[in-house]
């Protein structure tokens, strides 16, 4: 079971997470069993840059593309489940 938000989570992040849950509940209704958001949250500017870079491609190819930047140190940490999943499910481009 995912852990709750830590007490140290900034208020703006808590508000965004609460609103995300409300929006997803409105979208999925009774079909939604629970909401689990994957972190870490990043500064909006970084996410916006990635989203803008991929948006036209998503429209042109009718796909949902996602990219998440990680440092070399984060990727080198082979003890992290994220790294296992990326290595197992990701594709090199």
User: What is the tens place of the pLDDT at every residue in 52-86?
Assistant: 999 999 999 998 887 776 777 877 777 778 777 77
CA distance 75 to 65: 20
DSSP 3-state of 66: coil
Question: Rounded CA gap, 93 and 91, in Å?
Answer: 6
| pLDDT tens, residue by residue, 16-50 | 889 988 998 999 999 988 877 666 666 677 778 88
In angstroms, the CA 18 to CA 16 distance is 5
pTM score above 0.75: no
């Amino acid at each position: 079971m995912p852990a709750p938000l830590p007490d140290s989570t900034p208020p703006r992040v808590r508000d965004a997470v609460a609103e995300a849950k409300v929006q997803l509940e409105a979208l999925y209704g009774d079909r939604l069993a629970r909401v689990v958001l994957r972190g870490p949250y990043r500064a909006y500017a970084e996410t916006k840059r990635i989203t803008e870079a991929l948006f036209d491609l998503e429209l042109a190819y009718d796909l949902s593309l996602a990219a998440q930047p990680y440092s070399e140190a984060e990727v080198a940490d082979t003890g992290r489940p994220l790294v296992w999943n990326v290595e197992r499910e990701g594709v090199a481009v």
